[in-house]
């Protein structure tokens, strides 16, 4: 790996895979190979990986759990970095009269953080119950549901830039907006601190269970998908617009607009990325033609055809 003697081989405590199929690492279960897939074991590993990519002019991106990502069938040139092995610390960080700070590294699952807060009787993250993906991914996209967003609970975020420098930024220094935290190109989320209130553990657990029940009732959780495909426009929920356009259940190959929730596209077995993209364009074009509303995708689409 690398040009000449500038290689990562033998310099990492973690692992690097070559030509790794992204279909095995995304919730859609589709996508061609990525040139390199790295699993840094610690901060020094991550710093070496980012510095190597900078020197070799190799594009990199953070994979998370691949739950909000569609990789095209031709795969991706560059480096995918997974923090799922070396960045999973979760703990109470600080206590003050108003509640507690919970520290979570970027590779930990958001579901585990919700569970942790629930166990401790700390309200503030119940809205995130059932949202798939990692802490880093949730912060990156300002994940939200049930009238709550990550920005409502975040206190600060720790970041590493492409040169390996680390800094912590408070909530006021971050550019949160709908489904985005405005992360500068090349920066990597290392961890977040969540400011949660002291509360009634039974009430928190009850609310979490209620939200999980509502998700089970409304969303197609039994088939591979990437969650909501489109952001909700000001005119109303994207799923409602797609359903009113008569597209619920529409199918191209093994990709289908879910019959349970029209803002989900599911993989019924052997869907290809091109099938999913064709359904996305079908919905966008029909709703724009009929309603004059241009839907914007919530999922990230990367790679080559």
Say whether 109 is catalytic.
no
Give the ranges where 219-253 is alpha helix by DSSP (H).
Answer: 238-244
User: Whose CA is closest to 230, among 136, 272, 293?
Assistant: 293
Catalytic residue among 29, 72, 179, 195: 179
For residue 125, give the nearest of 133, 116, 107 by alpha carbon.
Answer: 116
Distance CA 204, CA 3 (A): 53
7 part of the active site: no
Q: Kindly report the backbone phi and psi dihedral angles of residue 210, in degrees, each rounded to the nearest multiple of 5, phi listed first.
A: -65, -45
Kindly state the helix (H) or strand (E) to which residue 205 belongs, with its residue range: helix 201-218
Whether 179 sits among the annotated catalytic residues: the reply is: yes
Q: How far is CA 187 from the centre of its chain?
A: 15
Catalytic residue among 84, 228, 250, 258: 228
Rounded CA-CA distance 291/49 in Å is: 47
Annotated catalytic residue, options 105, 126, 149, 298? 298
Q: Are the CB atoms for 108 and 117 separated by under 8 Å?
A: no
E-strand ranges in the chain read 15-21, 33-39, 60-62, 69-71, 76-81, 90-96, 99-105, 144-145, 148-149, 154-160, 166-170, 188-197, 251-252, 255-257, 265-267, 300-302
Catalytic amino acids? 179, 228, 298
């Amino acid at each position: 790996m690398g040009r000449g003697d500038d290689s990562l081989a033998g310099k990492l405590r973690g692992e690097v895979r070559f030509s790794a199929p992204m279909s095995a690492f995304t919730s859609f279960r589709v996508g061609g190979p990525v040139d390199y897939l790295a699993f840094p074991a610690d901060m020094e590993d991550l710093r070496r990986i980012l510095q190597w990519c900078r020197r070799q002019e190799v594009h990199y991106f953070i994979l998370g759990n691949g739950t909000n990502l569609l990789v095209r069938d031709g795969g991706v040139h560059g480096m995918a970095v997974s923090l799922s092995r070396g960045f999973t610390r979760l703990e109470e960080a600080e206590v003050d009269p108003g509640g507690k700070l919970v520290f979570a590294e970027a590779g930990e699952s958001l579901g585990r953080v919700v569970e942790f807060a629930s166990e401790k009787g700390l309200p503030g993250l119940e809205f995130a119950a059932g949202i798939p993906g990692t802490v880093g991914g949730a912060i990156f996209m300002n994940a939200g549901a049930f009238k709550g967003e990550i920005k409502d609970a975040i206190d600060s975020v720790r970041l590493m830039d492409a040169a390996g420098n680390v800094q912590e930024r408070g909530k006021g220094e971050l550019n949160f907006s709908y489904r985005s935290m405005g992360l500068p190109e090349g920066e990597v989320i290392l961890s977040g601190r969540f400011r949660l209130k002291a509360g009634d553990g039974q009430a928190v657990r009850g609310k979490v269970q209620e939200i999980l029940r509502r998700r089970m009732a409304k969303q197609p959780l039994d088939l591979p998908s990437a969650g909501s495909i489109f952001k909700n426009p000001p005119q109303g929920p994207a799923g409602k617009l797609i359903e009113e356009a008569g597209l619920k259940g529409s199918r191209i190959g093994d990709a289908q607009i879910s019959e349970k929730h029209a803002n989900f596209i599911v993989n019924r077995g052997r869907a290809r990325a091109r099938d999913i993209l064709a359904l996305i364009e079908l919905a966008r074009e029909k709703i724009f033609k009929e309603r004059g509303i241009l839907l914007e995708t919530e999922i990230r689409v990367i790679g080559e055809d």
